[in-house]
A and B are shown apart, each in its own frame.
Chain A
Amino acid sequence: MEAFKEHVGLVVPLDRINVDTDQIIPKQFLKRIERTGFGEFLFFDWRYLENGDPNPEFVLNHSRYAGASILIAGANFGCGSSREHAPWALQQYGFKAILAPSFADIFRNNCYKNGILPIALPADVIASLSQEAHDTEGYRLMVDLEEQAVICPDGTAHTYEIGDFEKYCLLNGLDEIGWTLQYETDIAAYENQNRL
C-alpha cells in the first residue's frame, strides 16, 4: 500500500447523504478478477447517460472539478455492500481523501486498506467546506495526516480523529498481513489452547 503523509488537492462536493457502494461502483463491474481498472466506472449510473456520454449534470463531469482528488459528501458515505471495489474505484479515479460527517463501518475499513483517508468532520464544517467548493473555482484543501488536520486556504485548520493503528498503517504504507504474521506464535498458541 502507498504511504499517505499529506495531500493537497482540488475539492469536489457531492451533495448527497447515504451514498451507497452500489452507486459508487455498480454491480456489473464486480465481475472482474483484477484489482485495477475500476476508476472509469466510478459513480457509473450517475456519471454517464444511457448513450454512454458523460451526464453534464453530474458534478464530477463539470470541467472545473476535473482532476479533483478530495471528495466532500453527505453523512453515512459508503453504506450498503461490503464491496472493496468501491474504494478501488475512488482511488483509481484519483481520490486521496473523502470528507463527510460520517462513514459506514465496512467502507471506512476498506478505505484504510487502500491508502484512502476517510475524514469525519462535524456536519457544519462539512457544509461550509462544501459551500466553498461550490463558490470558489479551484478550491483546494490540504489534508495532513501527521497533524490530523484539514487545512483551508486561509490557514484555518479542522482537526479530525483517526485510530493510532490506522494512522500508523497509512503513514508507513504498512502490509497488515505481514504485521499480523509477526504474531504467528500467538495465533498458534490460541489454536492449540482452543483445540482448533
Chain B
Amino acid sequence: MKKTMYEKIWDAHLVRASASEVPILYIDTHLVHEVTSPQAFEGLRLNNRKVRRPELTFATMDHNVPTTDRSLPIKDQIAAKQMETLAQNCTEFDIPLYDINSPEQGIVHVIGPELGITQPGKTIVCGDSHTSTHGALGALAFGIGTSEIEHVLATQCLLQHKSETFEIRVDGTLPYGVTAKDIILSIIGHIGIDGGNGAVVEYTGSTIRALSIEERMTICNMSIEAGARAGMIAPDDTTYEYIAGKRFAPKGEAFDAAVEGWKQLPTDEGASYDRTLQLDAADIAPQVTWGTNPGMVTDVTERVPNPADMDTADEKRAAEHALDYMDLEPGTPMTDIAVDRVFIGSCTNSRISDLRAAAEVVKGRKVADTVNAMVVPGSQAVKRQAETEGLDEVFRAAGFEWREAGCSMCLGMNPDTLMPGQRCASTSNRNFEGRQGKGGRTHLVSPQMAAATAVTGHFVDIREFSS
C-alpha cells in the first residue's frame, strides 16, 4: 500500500494497536522546558515512578529566562524558582539539561535541530505547541500537555489517535521580498486558524523544496497556528547536509546508513491525502496581521478589513472585537500603521538566517526615534555566530538592543513585555490579545519586514523599501 510520510513514521512507532484501544506510540525524543514540566515530575514522585529513558530526554530553560546580563541574579523570584525546580528535577531523574548558563542554552525548538537531536523519521514531543517546528527535518513532532509529559517520562510512549493527512503544496519561484514567514501566514489566511484541526500537514511542492532548513522550520513552526497536530517536510539532500556533523547526529558509516533509511521516508508516489490545498508562490505578497489571531492577516499592500465584509456573524463579531482591541479603523492602509516596538526573535524567526536577513535591511540605517527595537537570538549558538559575523554591531549601530537567547517577548513571561496600548511589529507566531503583554497590540511579520518597520516607524512594503 502506498503511504504518506506521516503514515510511514506512524506505523514504524506503533508499540501496540488494537481496534478497541487508543494506539500506543513510541516517542524517540522528549524535549522538556521549565514552564510545562514541574507538575509532571511531581506526578512521577507522587506515584513513585521513574523516567523510563532519561537519555532520550533533553531539557533546557527558555520561556522565562531573562535576556539581559546573565551574570546578574534573576529578579523574578517565581520564575527563578521554576528554573531551579527544572534543574533539581533533571538532577533527580538524570536528564541532560542545557541550563541558563550553558553555551548550548536556547529556545527548545532552536537547539533541538542545532544540536542534531532532531532527525528525520523520529517521533518528537515537547510540552509546547510549537514542537511542530521539528517537522522541517522530516520528523513527526507535536506539542503535548503536562499530563502527557508525565506519561512520556514514565513510559516513553503516548496514547495517540491517528490524525488525518493534509497536503499543502506550494509551487513556483518565491517573489522577491517574500519569505517563508509570508508563505505560512498566507496559508493560515487561506485555511483559517482551525483549518488544520485534526490533521498532520505535509508541505510539498517546488517552492518548499527550494527552501533552506531554517526556512522550512519557520513554515512547520506555525502549523499549529492553523490548528494542525503537526507539520512536516520530506527530508532531502538539503536536510542531510544540515544534519551532517551536528553533535548528536550519527557519524561516519552510521550517518551514511541513517541517510539510506531517511531516503525511504518521503511519501510514496500516488499515495493519497485526506485533504489537499495548492498555492502558487507567485500569488504570495509580504504579509502583516491586523487582528488578534494569525488568520487575521493580509498583504502589506492591503487595508484593514471591514468587519461588515466578513462571511458569518461570528466572524464579524470577532473582527469587531479584534479591531477594537487593536485600535484600528477599517480601510486604513496597512502601511499607515505606526509601531512603538519591534521584536525580532522567537522559535519562528530567531535563527542565524533570520538575523542575517534583518541585518541586511538595517545595515547603515537607524531605528526610527519613535521605535524601541530588540533582537533576541534563538540560542546562545546563534548569538555567537551572529557576533562572529558582526551582525550584533550592525543591529547595535542602528539602535537595536542585542539580547541573550530565550523566548522573550514572543510570550512575555520574562521581563520583555509590551506596555498596555503599545503596538509591536513582531517576528513571532501569535498575535493573541495580551500575548506580548496585557493591552499590547501585536502584528506578525517576517524578519525583513520587522527590520524595515523599525527603520521607518510604520509598516512598509519590503519590496519597495529595498529597491
Interface residues of chain A, those whose CB is within 8 Å of chain B, are 15-18, 20, 22-23, 26-28, 30-35, 45, 50, 74-76, 79-84, 87, 102, 104-106, 109-110, 113-114, 163-166, 175-177, 179-181, 183, 186-187, 190-191, 194, 196
Most A-side CB within 10 Å, residue of B53, B150, B193, B321: B193
CB distance A113 to B413 under 8 Å? Answer: no
The answer to whether B36 and A84 have CB atoms under 8 Å apart is yes
Q: When the two chains form their complex, are residues B412 and A27 in contact, meaning their CB atoms are under 8 A apart?
A: yes
Asked whether A181 lies within 8 Å of B129 as measured between CB atoms, the reply is: no
A82 contacts B36, C-beta separation under 8 Å: yes
Which residues does chain A contribute within 8 Å of B47, judged by CB atoms? 175, 177
Given A35-B42, A79-B194, check contact A22 B317 (CB 8 Å).
no
Interface of A: prevailing SS: loop
CA separation between A26 and B412, bound complex, in Å?
A: 10
A-B contact pairs, 5 of them (CB 8 A): A79-B194, A104-B194, A163-B161, A196-B26, A196-B53
| Inter-subunit contact A79/B193 (CB<8 Å) | yes
- Interface range for B: 35 or more
Q: Does B323 contact A (CB under 8 A)?
A: no
Stretch at the interface among B139-147, B365-373, B445-453: B139-147
In Å, the complex CA distance between A122 and B251 comes to: 54
Contact A45/B438 with A80-B430, A163-B161, A186-B24 known, Cβ cut-off 8 Å: yes
Q: Is the CB of B318 within 8 A of A17?
A: yes
B189 within 8 A of A: no
Asked if B145 and A109 make an inter-chain contact with CB atoms under 8 angstroms apart, the answer reads: yes
**In the complex, what distance in Å separates the CA atom of A27 from the CA atom of B420?**
15
B433 touches A23 (CB 8 A): yes
Q: Which of B423-445 contact A (CB under 8 A)?
A: 430, 432-435, 438
Bound CA–CA A166/B161 (angstroms): 11
Instruction: Judge if B221 is at the interface, Cβ distance under 8 Å.
Output: no
Which residue in chain B gives the minimum CB-CB distance to A26?
Answer: B434
Kindly list chain B residues whose C-beta atoms are within 8 Å of the C-beta of A109: 144-145, 148
Determine the distance from Cα of A65 to Cα of B144 in the docked complex, in whole angstroms.
32
Given contacts A16-B318, A18-B318, 7 further A-B contacts (CB under 8 A): A27-B412, A27-B413, A80-B225, A113-B148, A114-B147, A175-B47, A186-B15
Q: Are A76 and B82 in contact (CB under 8 A)?
A: no
* Complexed CA–CA distance, A91 and B78 (Å): 23
Instruction: Enumerate B97-152 residues with CB–CB distance to A below 8 Å.
Output: 127-129, 143-148, 150-151
Task: Kindly report which residue of chain B lies nearest to residue A46, judged by CB atoms.
Answer: B433
B413 touches A31 (CB 8 A): yes
Contacts A27-B412, A82-B36, A82-B143; A18 near B293 (Cβ below 8 A)? yes
- CB neighbours of B53 from chain A (8 A): 196
8 closest A-B pairs by CB = A113-B147, A84-B145, A33-B38, A110-B145, A82-B143, A76-B194, A84-B146, A82-B129
A104 to B142, CA, bound (A): 13
Partner of A180, one of B147, B151, B229: B151
